[in-house]
Amino acid sequence: MQPFIHLSGVTKTYRRGRTGHLAISDATFDVMPGELVSLVGPSGCGKSTLLKILAGLHPHDAGEVRIGSESHAFDPARDIGMVFQAPLLLKWRRILDNVLLPAEILGLPMAESRERARGLLNLVGLTGAEEKYPYELSGGMQQRAAIARALVHDPKLILMDEPFGALDALTREKMNLELLRIWKESGKTILFVTHGISEAVFLGTRVVVLTSGPARMADNFEIELPHPRTLDMKTHERFGEYTRRIYKLLGME
């Protein structure tokens, strides 16, 4: 099967006058269709930069980036949905209208999009919140709305940049479970950036480990834990082996 995302030797340098800051060095890995791949590494190692390159927001300086298949052209504006650490909901728009924003920008048929948005709000557990404003929802509920917004235009790829980082520990664990359910039901390919080692193992079908900046791939391995995943798996010896492997790669042992 052909990878949905292919990166080979990707390098990115930010220029500041006559000097340069090497943000990413030789990032190389593949993501297969329908995978949920966790991208983990310390703060400032270039994880978010890599996501921006994949989203078409930043150019890369060297290496190869390929998304999609040769038979179908990939349009980042149409085929990517993004979820950030903050929900970034427009406070003057109701939740349903926030979810519909990508469909409006892309000029999609609004009757169909509105029906899809309502279905997605049901998928993320927000049925009944359609007419509420963001301030009326908790942080976790706002992030659920942000996930629905990322899915409303039916993208092929979801990029998530530490989407649960601002949530309290209990809400974060609930959102991990919700994300796994949404991923299974939607069938989307997801690249999930986090600096949480336990979160990376719990969510990922595979984990890509990046070293501290400039980002360089230290490892890329499958997580052989069954689905559906449950929180008690975090107490299993196999789970501990995966987390210890990452700690060692990051020099934390």
Instruction: Give the tens place of pLDDT for each residue, 187-206.
Output: 999 999 998 999 999 999 99
- Angstrom CA distances, 208 to 67, 194, 219, stand at 17, 11, 6
Given this model, what pLDDT does residue 141 score?
96
- Report yes or no on whether pTM surpasses 0.75: yes
Identify which of 189, 231, 214, 220 has the alpha carbon closest to the alpha carbon of residue 62. Answer: 214
Kindly give the confidence (pLDDT) of every residue in the chain, 253 residues in length, as a single tens digit, with 9 standing for 90 and above. 889 999 999 998 888 777 777 888 888 999 999 999 999 988 777 888 999 999 988 889 999 999 987 656 678 888 999 999 999 999 999 999 999 999 999 999 999 999 999 999 999 999 999 999 999 999 999 999 999 999 999 999 999 999 998 899 999 999 999 999 999 999 999 999 998 999 999 999 999 998 886 667 889 999 999 999 999 999 999 999 999 999 999 887 6
pLDDT digits (tens, 9 = 90+) for 16-47: 777 777 888 888 999 999 999 999 988 777 88
DSSP class of 113: H
Q: Which two tokens stand for residue 93?
A: 């728009």
Q: Tokens 């000029």 sit at which residue?
A: 107
Facing residues of 38 across strands?
192, 207
Respond yes or no on whether the N-terminal peptide bond of residue 214 is cis (omega within 30° of 0). yes
Q: Tell me the C-alpha distance between 46 and 22, whole Å.
A: 9
> Domains of the chain (ranges plus CATH)?
1-66+156-253 (3.40.50.300), 89-155 (no CATH)
Q: Tell me the C-alpha distance between 28 and 146, whole Å.
A: 29
Q: Tell me the C-alpha distance between 209 and 2, whole Å.
A: 22
- Angstrom CA distances, 210 to 13, 133, 147, 164, 195, stand at 16, 38, 25, 19, 10
Average pLDDT, the chain: 91
